[in-house]
Amino acid sequence: MNRLVVVFGIIWCLGTTLAIAQVASDCSNAVPICNNTPVNGGTNGFGADDFKGAAKSGCLEKTLSGAIESNAAWYRFKTGASGQLGFNIGFDSNEDWDFALYRASDCNSLGDPIRCNFFDNREANSFIGVGVDPQGATDNVQYEDWLEVLPGEDYYLLVNNFSNINSGFSIQFTGQIFVTNPYDALDCSIINNLLGPPIAACNNENIVLDATTVDVVSYTWYKNVGNGYTVIPGEVSATLNVQEAAFYRVEAITQSQNNIISDVQVGFSEAPIASSVDDEHLCLDSEYFNLSDKDQMALGGQLGNEVIISYHVSFDDADAGVNALPLEYKLKTGEQQIYIRATSVQNPRCYDASQDFKITVHEPLTHSFPWEVFLCEGELNAVIGEMVPDPDYNYHWSTGELTSSITVDEGGEYSLTITDKLGVSACDNTFVITVYDSNTPHIEEVVIEDMQDNNTITIVPDREGDFEFSLDDGAYQSDNIFYKVLSGMHKVTLNDLNGCGTASETIVVVGYPKFFTPNGDGANDVWNIVGISSLENPVLTVYDRYGKLLKQLSKNSMGWDGTYNGVALPSDDYWFKLSYMDQNGQRIMAKYVNNHFSLKR
């Protein structure tokens, strides 16, 4: 994997109390892990090259040391149960750590690692490991898949610092195996020290060292805080209550004179305290809430590089430090209790899960009233807004009125803000209602394309708007064009979808030839129209381009032969009009029928 090589000049210490924490730079001296997980006060170099000059081991490559190992720490553990197992290695986010995990029974047959990560820490993460990032970061590339383990499996873990400056790390084991088997997930038989493995404790814990064994005549306890071991006066029992970070030693004198001397290190880390945070009222239209916005309040003055804040859906998850919520929390309607865990970076066993807060997600109000209202021609006013008010809400208009609906007498924009009387709604429930002054629609023109066998008509309104159209009182359609219209009389209707009325016209669709050739050859020698048989007393008049009446034809006329008073007229364009009697006996000039045709000789 690619690596960005950076050497940082700042050392962040886990604390002087743990600066001498037990660490093994060689696999053969790997520190056993059982019922407690270590906090390491820094690593410095490596002992023997456990990879015997190899250039790679799994994902691990040679480091600045010239070998795979660089500031290495080796640990070993044995599984005591089956299930899902992982671990978090916590460190300063400015540092660059790697790890490799081997399933092996001894250091001479490590083989390839079964989990390995060599990514550089350019994202400034605070954890690497197996499983999931305890902070809820779903995009942390320094995490590998969970392990599924069986009882009795031996593992070696190499934790490696790529650069030459580091301030140490902590290891916390995780996974469902510690829920099902909290006391024997890891096999303690690998610890042969009377006092057990190093203890990384919290300052609010009561630590008791127990050296109880058979055949003992007396016990003597010692303490070393950096100046060598000195006797602890008065402590002569098999157990010792410990309240100070130090190395401790017990000397057990036995009757068989097989005296036992056992050492153990105890370190204390400050236990964080989660502070209370305010509840949140959010609107569903935000979709997500960034939980990290609550970090500073939850820290309560503690430093973010010393305490990790994570969020969980249950107290049990927060208490166990599992299933951290993603920081980009997807909102859902209703109330959700969120539980907070404050975890020490120095020692993840030190935590506080006593605080929680509530997220209440509100849905934006849905409106049952139109956002567009048309004040039609002849209407003096219109009522806009919510006609059925909800007693749990307040209403406020841009006009200053406080009712759920108002009466307006002119066009414009009117805004209505609806608020929860309890004052907790987080949604912007402001609605803008636009009132349009609208006239009654009219038909400006009907375009008739006379093709005899396939006539087409187009209804043209007098203005733009929301209209639908009907032919001969048939079903309305959104298209203003009608195809394959039969010749004869028809009714066309225009309807305003905004409720401002309708307009209708009676039209006549006729078919006629576009030219005729009165040359006596028996083809196209006369001109006439078709489609007027259904009209009452129709009259067809023919004119020249100057408006001179040339011929008047009735329903039964044979047509026009192209002459005027017996004189043949020249080739030219000629016009015609059509009139008929309506049901009231009035002669009506057919609208939109005023077309021309050509005479050709």
Is domain 443-509 annotated with CATH 1.10.10?
Answer: no
Instruction: Tell me which fold the domain 204-269 belongs to.
Output: Immunoglobulin-like (2.60.40)
Helix, strand, coil % (nearest 5) of the chain?
5, 45, 50
Q: What is the pLDDT of residue 304?
A: 86
List the structure tokens of 344. 């020490």
For the CA atoms of 527, 530, 536, 538, what is the dihedral angle to 10 degrees? -20
Q: What is the pLDDT of residue 5?
A: 25
Q: What is the pLDDT of residue 272?
A: 95
Q: What CATH number should be reported for the domain whose range is 515-599?
A: 2.60.40
Q: What is the pLDDT of residue 172?
A: 86
Q: Which residues pair with 395 in a beta bridge?
A: 418
Which stretches in the chain have pLDDT values below 70? Answer: 1-22, 35-36, 451-453, 594
pLDDT in tens, 223-236: 998 888 999 999 99
List the structure tokens of 536. 């009452």
List the structure tokens of 472. 């001969």
Reference 169, options 78, 239, 92, 223; nearest CA is: 92
Please give the CATH architecture assigned to the domain spanning 16-190: Sandwich (2.60)
d(CA 408, CA 411): 8
- DSSP, residue by residue, 564-587: ETTEEPPSEEEEEEEEEE-TTS-E
3-state secondary structure of 314: coil
List the structure tokens of 309. 């804040």
- pTM of the full structure: 0.53
Could you tell me the residue ranges of all domains in the chain?
16-190, 204-269, 280-362, 372-438, 443-509, 515-599
Q: What is the pLDDT of residue 35?
A: 67
Q: What is the pLDDT of residue 452?
A: 59
Given a contact cutoff of 8 angstroms between Cβ atoms, the answer to whether 356 and 338 are in contact is yes
Q: Which residues pair with 549 in a beta bridge?
A: 543
Same fold: 204-269 with 515-599? yes
Burial 458-480 (b: 16+ CB within 10 A, else e): ebebeeebebbbbbeeeeeeeeb
